[in-house]
Structure 1
Amino acid sequence: MATFVVLMNFTEQGIKSVKQSPDRAEAFTAVATKMGVTIKSILWTVGHYDLVTTVEGSDEAVTTLLLTLGMAGNVRTETLRAYTAGEMKAIIGKLG
């Protein structure tokens, strides 16, 4: 399973209904589970991003999940592929 860090910002629609944000996070987690994606964390943040989420799943499943999330119109996402220390050691081990 690949790990992704998802940085999110509320859209105008999302901030207008910010009180429902925790409920939307629960719904997002339920949809993710059905798609075979594990939500490791959802954090509301103060600063450049409004939420930071860590997810695990296949590239295809995570992409489908995030497109589904985007279609709801409450957040915009920026996604980073993340690697554990073990994964990074394996990558570095392949360097010439």
Structure 2
Amino acid sequence: MPYFISLMKFTEKGLREIKNTGDRIKISRDRVESVGGRSIQLFATLGSYDLVQIFEMPDDSSMMQYVMTARRDGYVDPLILPAFDESEWSSILEKIPETNT
């Protein structure tokens, strides 16, 4: 399954209700599973983003469905990045033509 990384910032609503983050994490995991995906890990982070979550999802459409549902809830503003593991990355690199220089 494809991997995705979500970089999330809390919205004002998310900050006001920050004590409920544990409940929202459970809801998030349940939603991911409902579209056939898997939440691999969630990290609270310092810096520009408050949370980072790593997913496996069946496809882009499943990820979009999950993200739009999460955005509608209004607790976080996510930036979604498709991600490639080492094996996939190596396969991609092998397909790049040699330069003519």
Structure 1 length normalisation: TM-score?
0.96
Deviation at 1:18, TM superposition (A): 0.1
Number of residue pairs matched by the alignment = 96
Q: Which residue of 2 aligns with 1:75?
A: 76
Aligned runs of 1:12-91 on 2, under 5 Å? 12-57=12-57, 58-91=59-92
CA distance in 1, matches of 2:44, 2:90: 31
Deviation at 1:92, TM superposition (A): 1.0
Structure 2 length normalisation: TM-score?
0.91
Q: Aligned partner of 2:80: which letter?
A: T
Q: Aligned partner of 1:9: which letter?
A: K
Q: Aligned partner of 1:63: which letter?
A: M
Unaligned runs of 5+ in 1: none
Deviation at 1:53, TM superposition (A): 0.2
Greater Cα radius of gyration, structure 1 or 2: 2
- Identity %, equivalent residues: 29
1:80 aligns to what SS in structure 2?
strand
Unaligned runs of 5+ in 2: none
